[in-house]
Amino acid sequence: EIVLTQSPGTLSLSPGERATLSCRASQSISSSYFAWYQQKPGQAPRLLIYATSTRATGIPDRFSGSGSGTDFTLTISRLEPEDFVVYYCHQYGNPPQTFGQGTKVEVK
Amino acid sequence: EVQLVESGGDLVQPGGSLRLSCAASGFTFSSYAMSWVRLAPGKGLEWVSTILKSGSATYLADSVKGRFTVSRDDSKNTLYLQMNSLRADDTAIYYCAKKALTSGFCPLDYWGQGTLVAVSS
């Protein structure tokens, strides 16, 4: 099973700042099968990015993804108030599919 | 509009059983594989189960294998998760989610709001 480790666990930033979230895999994975989700309190997770860098429908262009091999990054270029929530990474190409433990982006 | 609505969560004693349901609408349910994913308190998301189109194959996480069963009724556009021999560490919000593509490895593009399962004496 591929373990995904997200860092940091909590990221404290101010609105308008740039956020960089990291996800490291325990073994190399195909960039075609890597995604990021956003989850707001009490809501369902929302697909943000798939295939490492492709934004899902309706996702603002301030969200971008990059990476390869074992290291992947979600970047939020300028944080909006609604972005201060939890983010999960996900690999879906090596069964069983696995998720990271989450990064919480909080207001500094 | 795609909608996934889970139900069936409850407080249950260890060793008990529950059946979760997920009612789907807004897409051709029979054309897509569906998954269950859970979120336990203080933990990250955990994949639980996937069922392919027409129920042609089912997959379960090792942590629930032998205790949980996934099924679907395409005539009712409904996904199910039968949970037996429940343990305290099964306590979580259970989400059903739709696979983004009709085949192959793909992300989960729509999720329900979740249903809470609490296992405690």
Tell me: pLDDT of B16 over 90: yes
User: What residue of B is the nearest CA neighbor of A104?
Assistant: B44
CA distances from A35 to A38, A54, A88, B7, B11 (A): 10, 9, 8, 27, 33
Chain B contacts to A (CB-CB under 8 A): 4, 37, 43-47, 59, 61-62, 95, 97, 100, 105-114
Q: Sort out which chain B residues have CB atoms less than 8 A from A47's CB and list them.
A: 100, 107-110
Reported as a single tens digit per residue, the pLDDT across B17-61 is: 999 999 999 999 999 999 999 999 989 999 999 999 988 899 999
Please give the interface size between A and B, counted as residue pairs whose CB atoms are below 8 Å apart: 56
- pLDDT score for B9: 97
What is the CA B101 to chain-centroid distance, rounded? 18
Residue range A4-9: average pLDDT?
Answer: 96
User: What residue of B is the nearest CA neighbor of A43?
Assistant: B113
Q: Nearest CA of chain B to the CA of A29: how many Å?
A: 13
Reported as a single tens digit per residue, the pLDDT across A44-94 is: 999 999 999 999 999 999 999 999 999 999 999 999 999 999 999 999 999
User: What residue of A is the nearest CA neighbor of B36?
Assistant: A97
Q: Nearest CA of chain B to the CA of A50: how many Å?
A: 7
- pLDDT score for B40: 95
> What contacts A60, CB < 8 A, 6 or more positions away?
none
- pLDDT score for B101: 87
- pLDDT score for A71: 98
Averaged pLDDT of chain A:
96
Could you tell me the two tokens for A63? Answer: 């969200």
- pLDDT score for B46: 96
Averaged pLDDT of chain B:
95
CB contact (8 A) between residue B44 and residue A100: yes
pLDDT above 90: percentage of residues in chain B: 92
Q: How far apart (Å, rounded) are the C-alpha atoms in residues B62 and B33?
A: 19
Of A88 and B105, more confident: A88
Tell me: pLDDT of B108 over 90: yes
Q: Sort out which chain A residues have CB atoms less than 8 A from B110's CB and list them.
A: 47
- pLDDT score for A17: 97
